[in-house]
Structure 1
Amino acid sequence: MPPAISLKTVTNNVGWSVLSKTSTFGLKFVTVPILARLLSPEEFGIVAVAQTVVLFLTMVGGAGLAAALIVERTEDEETIHSVFWTNLVIAIVMAAALYVFAEELSALMGAPGGGMVLQVLAFLIPIQLCGDVAYALLARRMAFDRDAFWSVLSESAGAIGAVVLALVGFGLWALVAQLFISATLRLLGLFMATGYRPRLAFSFARVLSLGRFSAGLMGSEVFNFITFQSPLIVISRILGIADAGAYSAANRFSSIPNQVVLAALMGVLFPTFSHMAEDRERRWRALFLSTQVCSLILAPMMFGLWAVAEPAMLVIFGERWAWAWPVLGLLALSKGILAPCSTFIPYLKGIGRSGVLWWVAVARAGIVTAAVAYGAVSGGLVTAMVWLCIANGLTLFFYSYAVFRADGRPFWRSFLILCRPMIIAFAMALATKVMLEMSGDAIGGPIMQLAVAGLFGAVLYAVMIVPLEWTLLKDLVQSIRRSRLAKA
């Protein structure tokens, strides 16, 4: 049986997840700029497009079966082994197909000449899918401290390996090696952490029994993937591999705050909401508080990066990438707009609303893909990013409406409360951007501009957020105190 969910359990596991993501954040903060200075936009673009294909096949190959294990009431060994063997067989078939059709797929995705990269990355699919069952077991047991250790170790080894290989001249293969090093270490770590060992046991009926939940979840995951990856493919097809590389590098860096906060929270919140599924009021309070906290933390980081994008691009990526600073800024802005939506996916997954999750994902994928394509055709890369921001604004509204209506909650009051930290953060970032534009030359070079703007924005945000969100801050402090008392 999974452990009982309490405030102590949730906060402990969120803490471990945030710790692991913060550690990898620090490493990526250093290694992404180094790799950007050593590699060209074209090299980034080829690997990014190839990785997109592999990630899509990995997600489809899993078919949502491992996620279905998380919400099962008991750990049935035959079911667990059945899911493992199903994943492995599908992974081998997909890897073989990708290897054979690599050249054609690479050209179709706008990266001609990247067939060899795709063929090599095909071997990554079984490595990634074989770890899904072990991760599902850790999530069921809320054992995120063990997952945190292996996440930090695998990501660190991969990033360091990529930098070393890039320094000695391996080019884009340094990025490919990074993926293999991280995936292999993580696979070994998950098996060690869970003690799981596959056995020759299989039940087709038990795999089918997970199908109802996993089918709806799978559909939503496919369209969520399209939402996140379609801009890269659209840009590659319409604008070329160099623009796709610039988008990929800027997206990697601007996604770091999201990876720290969202990846940590989503991994913990999915099983948490699953255990609260029968307690409507309790799960709603948990959703509301976690969403507000996400906005409180993420929105100022993302909007702040938008405000300082021009000097940040020079300092972090160097002169060769300076032309792409509007791309970095607009990507950060687009991610900040979605800050209040951060907890919606694990919430809908956890309470079994895969149908709502599916149709929202379909609508979001269509809006984002169409908006970016229109922007790319009509005005180029920067215009495409502007339209991405517009699409995310529409997503924020309709996603919130779907979640609140699915739970029978009043829309406008809940929506405004959840968006309030984001609005405050945008006001702070706008004031910082205006200050920087008016006095940038007087401040000095880009490093000094970053330092002054960062201090100005932090102080301004604190001054604004304390009186306007006093109730939220007080609830958060009380939750932390209760957690500490529970530990004592």
Structure 2
Amino acid sequence: MPTTVNLRTVTNSVGWSVLSKTSTFGLKFVTVPILARILSPQEFGVVAVAQTVVMFLTMIGSAGLSASLILEREEDAETVHSVFWVNLVVAAAMAACIYIWALPFAGWLGAQEAAYLLKVMALLVPLQLCGDVAYSLLARRMEFRKDAGWSVFSESVGAITAVGLALLGFGVWSLVAQLFVSAIVRLGGLFHATGYRPRLVLSLAKVGALTRYSLGIMGSEIFNFITFQSPLVVVSRHLGLADAGAYSAANRFSSIPNQVLLAGLMGVLFPVFSHMNDDPRRRTDALMLSTQVTTVALAPMMFGLWAVAEPGMFLIFGPQWVHAWPVLGLLAVSKGIMSPCSTYIPFLKGAGRSDVLWWVAMLRAALVYGLVSYGAVTGGLHAAMIWLCVANAITLVFYSWAVFRTSGTAFLSSFYVTTRPMVASIIMAVAVRYMLEHVKADLPGGLWWNALSQAAVGAAAGAVIYGLLLVLTERELLRKLFELMQQRNAMPASENRQET
């Protein structure tokens, strides 16, 4: 039976989803610095390059079919089984391609040393794709509590495995083992949580009916993948594995706020928006509110990380990585610029506009690859990261225009409202950075204590400054959120039921 989507359902789902991402954040906050102190930049780089190929072909293999199950009005068993078997066949073919052409793939990425890892990591493709259908069933049922539990458990087991093997001297294999252990545990957990068991049922007609939407999703995911992974490929090819390792480590850490808020929220918003297809006005209101809220929460984290990047890099990764602090700061800025776009992908997917999603993703991929390549060739790693920020600033404008045009809202007024918290975050970050430059010499001596003091003072000052700016600029949003929370708490218990 269809799932009821109301304020309580949405907030509970977001809460569980963000909780799972927060737990993953905690694990990465601990394990990434530990692994960075044990392993070398070259070891991080070679695994990152190999993982790039696996992730790319995994995303192609899914072809958007699993996502289309969320958009379907009814949960049809024949369609579900058909999508599973198509995914499995494609996954096996992709894994075979990686194994056979591992050396050419690695050479194209500028890291032939990663070829042997590619052959092993090819098995990750079917492990990951086989769980897509089960996750889609959980998402369309809004059962994010179950997904949260298994996500945390699988990541925990994988992280413990990686640290243990790294301490025992297994080097890159500790990172590979982490990926496999997490994938296997999560796959079993998803099947257990949904109760889904594949049956030998295949209807090509049912799969074909999903093709138009799924191909649009596949195209957009390919270009999104190019956007996110092309900087690593460019750095690896033009600047070497050491710079690729520095980029990979900094990118892992700077991506944590996105993974906590953005990934958690996107997974919930897609089925939420799809449930609102019969009420476009309600869907547009939900888009504006969710975009404002995510920008208010995400932008200060990212720009604040830029403000304390120098002491933060020393504290988190150790002195051998401190030279890469500008990379960490610029990566945080590049992600902060995109914070108003956090809700755009689930909105377009939920509205069934995979065509818009496709061409926007294509333009962004071309922009990021071109500008980052220019920066790497002409000025090295730091210049490449600066041009990544420029590419994201341009993307912010045309992406917002495309989404607001699709939703039927005025561009300039909507763009102003959704980017206003980002501007406040930039002002806060610049003020904190300026303050730290003038007080760091007066803070406690010793490299470690001085860095810790800078980070603590910067975080405290940033919280105060941003809080004041938020009260001055976002009073209407804060009032609306307060009213919504009152409305949620006043809901009768009967409205908390997920089934009607």
Q: The TM-score by the shorter chain falls in which range?
A: over 0.9
Q: Could you give the per-residue CA deviations for residues 69-106 of structure 1, whole angstroms, max 9, x where no partner exists?
A: 11111111111111111111111111111111112211
Unaligned runs of 5+ in 1: none
Q: Could you give the per-residue CA deviations for residues 125-180 of structure 1, whole angstroms, max 9, x where no partner exists?
A: 11000000000100110000000000000011111111111111010111100100
Structure 1 residue 457 corresponds to structure 2 residue 465:
no
Structure 1 residue 448 corresponds to structure 2 residue 456:
no
Structure 1 residue 250 corresponds to structure 2 residue 250:
yes
**Higher deviation after alignment, 461-470 or 51-60:** 461-470
What one-letter code is carried by the residue in structure 2 that aligns with 1:341?
Answer: C
1:114 counterpart SS class: helix
Q: Distance in 1 between matches of 2:324 and 2:139?
A: 39
Correspondence for 1:483: 488
Q: How far does residue 358 in structure 1 lie from its aligned partner after superposition?
A: 0.7
What one-letter code is carried by the residue in structure 2 that aligns with 1:349?
Answer: K
Q: Could you give the per-residue CA deviations for residues 239-258 of structure 1, whole angstroms, max 9, x where no partner exists?
A: 11111111000000000000
Correspondence for 1:16: 16
Q: How far does residue 487 in structure 1 lie from its aligned partner after superposition?
A: 6.0
What is the 5 A alignment of 1:270-419?
270-419=270-419
Correspondence for 1:145: 145
What is the 5 A alignment of 1:153-168?
153-168=153-168
What one-letter code is carried by the residue in structure 1 that aligns with 2:458?
Answer: A
Correspondence for 1:433: 433
Q: Distance in 1 between matches of 2:260 and 2:59?
A: 21
Q: Distance in 1 between matches of 2:284 and 2:328?
A: 35
1:55 counterpart SS class: helix
1:170 counterpart SS class: coil
Gap change, CA 1:185 and 1:398, over 3 Å in 2:
same
**Identical-residue share of aligned pairs (%):** 64
Superposed CA RMSD: 0.9
Contact 1:300 1:425 in 2 (8 A): yes
1:380 counterpart SS class: helix
Q: Could you give the per-residue CA deviations for residues 421-449 of structure 1, whole angstroms, max 9, x where no partner exists?
A: 00001100000000011121112310111
Q: Distance in 2 between matches of 1:112 and 1:318?
A: 29
What one-letter code is carried by the residue in structure 1 that aligns with 2:490?
Answer: L
What one-letter code is carried by the residue in structure 2 that aligns with 1:119?
Answer: K
Contact 1:326 1:382 in 2 (8 A): yes
What one-letter code is carried by the residue in structure 2 that aligns with 1:458?
Answer: A
Correspondence for 1:469: 474
Contact 1:8 1:487 in 2 (8 A): no
Q: Distance in 1 between matches of 2:492 and 2:370?
A: 50
Q: Distance in 1 between matches of 2:248 and 2:376?
A: 15
Correspondence for 1:46: 46
1:257 counterpart SS class: helix
Q: If the length of structure 1 is used for normalisation, what is the TM-score?
A: 0.99
What one-letter code is carried by the residue in structure 1 that aligns with 2:471?
Answer: V
Q: Could you give the per-residue CA deviations for residues 319-372 of structure 1, whole angstroms, max 9, x where no partner exists?
A: 110100000000000000000000000000100111111110000000000010
What one-letter code is carried by the residue in structure 2 that aligns with 1:396?
Answer: L
What is the 5 A alignment of 1:92-111?
92-111=92-111
Correspondence for 2:182: 182
Q: Distance in 1 between matches of 2:274 and 2:49?
A: 34
Correspondence for 2:79: 79
Q: If the length of structure 2 is used for normalisation, what is the TM-score?
A: 0.97
Unaligned runs of 5+ in 2: 445-449, 494-500
